[in-house]
Amino acid sequence: MKQGERGMANLTADVLFVQFMNGLFIAAGIYLVASGLSLVFGVLGILNFAHGSFYMYGAFFVFALIGYKFGGFWPALLIAPAIVVILGITTEILFLRPIYKADPLYQLLLTYGLVLMFGDLVKLIWGADNQSVARPPGLEGTIPILGALFPSYQMFVLLPIGILTMLALWLLLNHTQIGNVVRAATQDREMVGALGVNVRLLYTGVFAVGAFLGGLGGAVLAPMGALYPGMDFDIIIEVFLVVVLGGLGSMAGTALGALIYGELKSLGILFVPDLESLFIYVLMVIVLLTRPQGLLGKRVETSR
Amino acid sequence: MASLQDSIREAAVVPRRLAAARDPMIWAFLAALAVLFWLPELVLHMGWAKFWIQFATQVFIWSLFAVSFNLLMGYAGMVSFGQAAYLGIGGYTAGLLLKNIAGLSFWVGLVAAPVGGALAALIIGYFCVRRTHIYFAILTLAFGHIVYLIAFKWYSFTGGDNGLIGIPVPDWITEPTFANYYKFVLVICLAAIYLLWRIVNSPFGKTLTAIRENPERADFVGVPVDRYRLYAFVLVGAFSGLAGALIMANERSVNPDLAHWTQSTQVLLMTLLGGVYTFFGPVVGALLLRTMDTDITQNYPEIWQLFLGGVLVLILFALPGGVMGFIQERDVSSGDDQATRTAKMLRLFRRKSWMFFGGALFFTTFFGLLHSPGAWLLAKGREFAPFALTSWGIVPGALLQLVVGAAVLWLLLRRADRFNRIDGLLLLALPVAALALHVHLGTPLSGLLIVLLWVVFTLYSLAQPEFRLAYRLGRAAADGG
């Protein structure tokens, strides 16, 4: 074999590997945010538009906490989602509790109103300019793996947190008593209430976990891009795509949807740069036409 | 065997058989046209700012957009979150044609816009109408975002985030007072809204409502549900495209912001605010929202979305039927006799009057504050004089309204069940007086609009058959039935 051809082949394999890993990074990031939305939808039946706002607040709280010299990035990574949880619980009690029995579209509209309010509050507090968060010390550079260079932050923070979250959610939902109740609630909310579970508390708890995941996603992704008012809306559309693709309310579907989303996005760049974001739409259209309930979703007549 | 479709046809035969000239609504539209046509002359004659001519133009374009959107949301029950896409496509279709083909007639661009909007709606709708409710909302949102992204990123074709600038339009549009363009928009929008009125009252419109109420049943009786949904979606896409072209010509430029999701939010809010299940609600909503936009962004542009969100949450909690729905809402059950119905209406009238009073107080105060920030105790730039109300600040003014207004309203409402004609007239006179007072005080337009709606509400209530009868017969009607 000639030298040149082998170089070509190696290059292609290398590039594919690099893009595959990049796809994993994207998938881990979007999964963190999307899992919270999917969980909340599965239990509460509310498609929470304001989930993108939780993501945005997670990122901006990290920015603010670092600005206050509050021990740097790592404490901020823990504290920011905690503050978002408080925000989420307040939202749930004030706005969502009164409308659980309303038409799902009204619930969607209500959370849409919350998005508008949360968005302007960010502008009022932090201004309309782009902000940025520096990567934590020691993780600014890249690390070589199998001959390719990868950003260490994505490799050592984003990906592990994404995988750990997935494992933790799986364990929590499938191997604990609380998980049993939550899974039962996704099947039949009224029956769970009739069996003596405090449904109010359950809803608030699940919403808090959802908000935590959204805030965590924002906090983890904060050092990887610009922070700006409007990032909430940009992510919520992609999160909706991922969740609809995988099947609304299905946690495994969300993980699969995130993986497909990330890989399509990063491998798509190789073939059709600039239009890579269209791939996911095309795929979503195909899925919806052939399998309307999403890849791993259960067929529910009322969800039509 | 009478199927649902037959009965729908049956019900719609009456308006179909009537010629347009015999539809009473056409006279209302012609009257509106005759009156509103002279608005620019009034503005110029009174020496008001020319801005108001452009403002009215915008209100009409948005009314058209919102009324057509309501065909989808209110009549067909399809809540789209990405309707601005068709506004943008209409604007870009007309703009690109006019800019790239030299010497092309403006009219061709204007006709191409709804065609472009309909084509886009046909393609996108083909996928969207298969799902309903939340899924439909997400899909329209996602596709709307694609349209925005294409407009934003495809520099060589759409000009990217700069948009298309300097689109050639005829000289009569660019005439400095914008009076010509206002009249042009007025005629087109009234014609289009009338067309929509005919559509929602046609067999097609009734079928859409049947689908909204019970898709399975409509399906069983042979209505091709998805196809009807698609028709509605395409139709609304066409009207939205027309509105987009009108906006384009107004500004002589197109910007990706036209297709941005915030525009979809606005039309959704206009419809909800005005009243989803009423035909003219969206017009009221468009007027209210545009006015509030103008009043707020004048001094505080950064809180506009916050305000919109607050209004949306407030509507969902307190006014699910919007303003028009609130005015028209009645509490009637079929078994009620005349006296019960009158008593129920009176109770409702009292409650709503208080709500209007509170709303008017809040809005006039809130917008007064936005208008002249910091004028808490004394009006700015005026010598204080105890008897000149215009020199009072926001807080004393609001307190005066609250105390005097509430006292008068309480007295009048207490006497309302005596059904004296004088009391009825006084009930109407109160909001009229409040309106006159606020005009005198120079309250921002948004506050005035709420008071005006209060007047409309009182007039509407007093004109209801139950009240008319009770007032004609005096108190006996309420007692004896």
Provide the CATH number for the domain around residue B216.
Answer: 1.10.3470
Please give the pLDDT value at position A100. 84
Q: Give the percent of chain A with pLDDT over 90.
A: 35
Q: Name the one residue in this structure whose structure tokens are 């010497």.
A: B103
- Comparing CB atoms, the residue among B272, B306, B312 nearest residue A120 is B306
Residue A175, in any domain of the structure:
yes
What's the rounded mean pLDDT across residues A236-261? 89
Side-chain half-sphere exposure of A263, counting CA atoms within 13 A: 10
Closest approach of chain B CAs to the CA of A248, in angstroms? Answer: 10
CB B391 within 8 A of CB B379: yes
**Residue B2, pLDDT above cutoff 70:** no
Closest CB from B134, B261, B303 relative to A105: B134
pLDDT tops 50 at residue B1: no
Mutation target among B131, B261, B273, B305 for the A interface, most CBs of A within 10 A: B305
- Per-residue pLDDT, averaged over B370-387, amounts to 71
Q: What is the pLDDT of residue B19?
A: 52
pLDDT of residue A3: 44
Contacts of A123 in chain B (CB under 8 A): 302
Tokens of A126: 């932090």
User: Taking the model in full, what pTM does it have?
Assistant: 0.84
Query: In angstroms, rounded to a whole number, what is the distance separating the alpha carbons of residues B107 and A257?
Result: 47
Please check whether residue A9 lies inside any domain of the structure. Answer: no
CA distances from B70 to B25, B56, B63, B317 (A): 18, 20, 10, 20
Whether residue A87 has pLDDT greater than 60: yes
pLDDT band at A304 (very low <50, low <70, confident <90, very high): very low
Please check the confidence at residue B21 and state whether its pLDDT lies above 70. no
- The span from the CA of A249 to the CA of A242, in Å, is 11
For residue B1, give the amino acid letter.
Answer: M
Kindly report, residue by residue over B410-447, the tens digit of the pLDDT.
988 888 777 778 888 888 888 898 888 888 877 888 88
Nearest CA in chain B to A240: B138
Last residue of a domain, one of B306, B324, B342: B324
Angle at the Cα of A46 (from A41 to A49), degrees rounded to 5?
95
Are B338 and B319 in the same domain? no
Give residue B476's pLDDT band: very low, low, confident or very high (50, 70, 90).
low
pLDDT interval class at A31 (50, 70, 90): very high
Let me know whether B402 and B452 are in one domain: yes
Q: Does B319 contact chain A (CB < 8 Å)?
A: no
Hey, how many other C-beta atoms are within 10 angstroms of the C-beta on B414?
11
Statement: residue B183 has pLDDT above 80: yes
Query: Among partner residues B127, B265, B305, which is closest to A285 by beta-carbon distance?
Result: B127
Last residue of a domain, one of B271, B305, B324: B324
Note the pLDDT of residue A114.
Answer: 93
Q: Tell me whether residue A191 is in a domain.
A: yes
What does the alpha-carbon distance between residue B56 and residue B61 come to, in Å, rounded to a whole number? Answer: 9
Strands A142-145 and A148-151: antiparallel
Mutate to test the interface with B, among A96, A112, A122, A280 (most CBs of B within 10 A): A112
Helices B421-441 + B445-462 axis angle, to 10: 170
Quote ipTM for the complex.
0.82
A195 belongs to a structural domain: yes
The beta-carbon neighbor of B305 closest among A98, A105, A116 is A116
Average pLDDT, rounded, for chain A: 85
Last-in-domain residue among B324, B350, B380: B324
* Spatial distance between the Cα atoms of A87 and A56, rounded to a whole number of angstroms: 12
Is the confidence at residue A50, as pLDDT, over 90? yes
Give the C-alpha separation, B149 to B139, whole Å.
Answer: 15
| Percent of chain B at pLDDT exceeding 90 | 21
Q: Which domain holds residue A195?
A: 29-233
One-letter identity of residue B300: Y
The reported pLDDT for the residue numbered B60 is 94
Q: Same domain for B248 and B362?
A: no
Which among A288, A289, A222, A290 has a CA at the least distance from the CA of A65? A222
For residue A98, give how far its alpha carbon lies from the nearest alpha carbon of chain B (Å): 9
Residue A69 has pLDDT above 70, yes or no: yes
DSSP state for residue B219 in the 8-state scheme: H
Tell me the CA distances in angstroms from A73 to A80, A81, A138, A226, A227, one per residue in order: 10, 13, 12, 16, 15
Domain assignment of residue B157, given as a range: 4-324
Q: Is residue A303 part of a domain?
A: no
One domain for residues B304 and B450:
no
Chain B nearest-CA residue for A247: B135
Task: Please judge whether A124 and B302 are an interchain contact, meaning their C-beta atoms are less than 8 angstroms apart.
Answer: yes
pLDDT in tens, A215-235: 999 999 999 888 998 898 889
Judge whether residue B218 has pLDDT over 80.
Answer: yes
B103 vs B192, residue with greater confidence:
B192
Whether residue B303 lies within 8 A of chain A, CB to CB, comes out as yes
B408, B320: one domain: no
Residues B437 and B343 in one domain: yes
pLDDT of A280 above 50: yes
Quick check: A85 and A212 in contact, CB under 8 A?
yes
pLDDT tens column, A130-140? 988 888 888 88
Share of chain B above pLDDT 70, in %: 92
Distance (Å, rounded) from C-alpha B304 to C-alpha A116? 9
Q: Which range has the top average pLDDT, A275-279, B217-221, B292-296?
A: B217-221
Residue for token pair 């979150």:
B81
A62-76, B58-72, B282-296: which is most confident: B58-72
Residue B297 sits in the same domain as residue B430: no
Task: State chain B's mean pLDDT as an integer.
Answer: 84
pLDDT of residue B243: 94
CA–CA dist B406, B417 (Å, integer)? 18
Query: Into how many domains does chain A fold?
Result: 1
Quick one: B339 and B299 in the same domain? no
Is residue A210 exposed (0-12), middle (13-18) or buried (19+ Cβ within 10 Å)? buried
Q: Rounded to an integer, what distance in angstroms lies between the CA atom of residue B189 and that of residue B169?
A: 19
Angle (nearest 5°) at CA B235 between B231 and B240: 145
Contact pairs from chain A to chain B, CB under 8 Å: 104
Contacts of residue B145 in chain A, CB cutoff 8 Å? 237
Q: Quick count: other Cβ atoms within 10 Å of Cβ A282?
A: 12
Q: Do B65 and B132 belong to one domain?
A: yes
Q: Tell me the mean pLDDT in the region A98-118.
A: 87
Range with the poorest average pLDDT among A216-220, B279-283, B321-325: B321-325
Whether residues B253 and B270 share a domain: the answer is yes
If residue A150 lies in a helix (H) or strand (E), which one and from where to where? strand A148-151
Chain B residues 328-347 within an 8 A CB cutoff of chain A:
none
Q: What is the pLDDT of residue A1?
A: 40
- Looking at residue B160, the DSSP 8-state letter turns out to be G
Q: B325 Cβ partners below 8 Å, 6+ apart?
A: B275, B276, B277, B278, B281, B319
Share of chain A above pLDDT 70, in %: 92
How many domains does chain B contain in total? 2
A70 φ/ψ angles, rounded to the nearest 5 degrees: -100, 50
pLDDT confidence band for B479 (50 / 70 / 90): low
In chain B, which residues have their Cβ closer than 8 Å to the Cβ of A128?
302
Long-range contacts of B347-354 (CB under 8 A, 24+ apart): B349/B416, B349/B461, B349/B467, B350/B413, B350/B416, B352/B326, B352/B327, B352/B457, B352/B461, B353/B409, B353/B413, B353/B427, B353/B454, B353/B457, B353/B458, B354/B409, B354/B413
**Neighbour count for residue B172 (Cβ, 10 Å):** 12
Residues of A in contact with B132 (CB under 8 A): 304
Average pLDDT value for residue range B279-286: 91
In this predicted structure, what is the pLDDT of residue A47? 87
